[in-house]
Amino acid sequence: MTQDQIETLRTTPLPPFRHIVDGQPVAASDGGTMRVVSPIDGSLLTTCARGTKADADAAIAAARRAFDDGRWSGLPPAARKKILLKWADLIEARALEIAVLGVRENGTEIGMALKAEPLSAAATLRYYAEAIDKLSGEVAPTDPAFLGLVHREPAGVVGAIVPWNFPLMIGAWKFGPALAAGCTMVLKPAETASLTLLRLAELALEAGVPPGVFNVVTGEGAVVGAAIAESMDVDVLVFTGSGATGRRLLEAAARSNLKRVYLELGGKSPNIVFADAPDLDEAAKVSAQGVFRNSGQVCIAGSRILVERSIHATFVEKLAAHAAAIRVGDPLDSATQAGAMNSERQLMQNLAFVGEARAAGRHVIGGARILEDTGGYYMSPAIVADATREDRVFREEVFGPVVTVTPFDTEAEAVALANDTTYGLAAAVWTSNLSRAHRMVRKVRAGLVHVNTYGGSDLTVPLGGVKQSGNGHDKSLHAFDKFLDLKTAWVKL
């Protein structure tokens, strides 16, 4: 990757984007379009189709036909594997082009975008493709007069609704295992991050994924997302996003066909630093990266740092130094370490949290709108150095470069503060005490607990939340569980 290559791709004109349904690019049924505005400079990039309920229904019907006639689920596992591996190769070959397209649309810094988006999606496809022919059924240990067989079968049509922060990475966590299992899919991207998933759908067809197996419909959640959730022909619904939307999806599933719904609903993740942390400067550096990368627009961001009181002032000083060293700016400059906010709306929401903390008399470091003359949506990292558990910024998910730092005195108090949230997605603990580390892993209620690090867990381990962070798991072989049904055959011999 060179800066010259990036600059060439930055200025490449973009055509209007259309849905991919039943193997074809199609416009919205009423001709509607959505403006695609770049958070880099506020400019109009292109348009994409503003989907209607009829568009969603057409995609679902295509996916239903493709599943029922067995054009995908009926293939031998090795044949599906070959196609998915080719798809991964095509994504990897065009990784820079896809990454720049995504950055132009959602503002993630290019270094992270390249690794976390197309290259991550390709790796995820390969992981699940390689697992296809390793899945098998079971023979039950029962009465020898009978044969009890447990078959694993694809669940059917999957609806997927994915967010704007990492659409390819999170999208692949859904469509990788779903397609590998033999399901077909209708995917709705976020309104502000649709283009790269449409591009991936084109590459899927080029790789040999049959028409109707992988459909992408763009549009508003209240229209396209609702149609998917309410459909009687969608068997499984997977979603990453807000708790409010997750609740509406559950209600829609209850009103329709009681489809299975799996939700990842964000977090307010505690990052607990004890005085015996192995390296306090390293803890501060990694903690800064764990909340300020991608401008804080990360589900597992360690946005609540809890610090033992004896080192609180020292830690805040170190954290502030590392935050100040982060280069915020043009996300298509390879030297940039944190890019733009996804939208002006998200930027203003983040600034409102910081303003409220300042108004309450909290010690706030940073947290201003910057580079406003570019027309883009940029914000300096914000540290609320003395937040309390009563502060809204301590309790609610900000989804921006805003972190709170709160002192504690005892291990029991650290646990109580960590668990004082409706969320339970991720957490971390920094300590040299092995026994304490294991105690904290057990006591902190989260689906992922880091020890002396933050972020970076790979595909081999699951990611899922507890409490109001959702249910079900992305990543690892456990992700197949969402997309496979168990069927028993009971045979009298």
- Amino acid identity, position 359: A
CA–CA distance from 17 to each of 201, 219, 418 (Å)?
12, 12, 44
Which of 399, 401, 397 has the alpha carbon at shortest distance from 384?
401
> Annotated catalytic sites, by residue?
264
Dig out the tokens for 384 from the structure: 């609320």
Place of tokens 């830690």: 315
- CA-based diameter of the chain, in Å? 79
Orientation angle between helical segments 434-443 and 411-418, nearest 10 degrees: 30
CA–CA distance from 482 to each of 154, 195, 262, 307, 473 (Å)?
10, 26, 8, 38, 8
Please, what's the b/e burial string for 192-231 (b: 16 or more CB within 10 A of its CB; e: otherwise)? bbbbbbbbbbebbbebebbbbbbbbbbbebebbbbbbbbb
CA–CA distance from 467 to each of 128, 270, 388 (Å)?
28, 14, 22
Is the distance from CB of 17 to CB of 48 less than 8 angstroms?
yes
Sign of CA dihedral 386, 390, 393, 397: positive
For 23, counting Cβ atoms within 10 Å of its Cβ (0-12 exposed, 13-18 middle, 19+ buried), the class is middle
- Amino acid identity, position 83: I
Pairwise CA distance, residues 463 & 457, whole Å: 9
Contacts of residue 111, Cβ cutoff 8 Å, sequence gap at least 6: 334, 336, 337
Question: What's the angle, vertex CA 440, arms to CA 438 and CA 443, rounded to 5?
Answer: 115
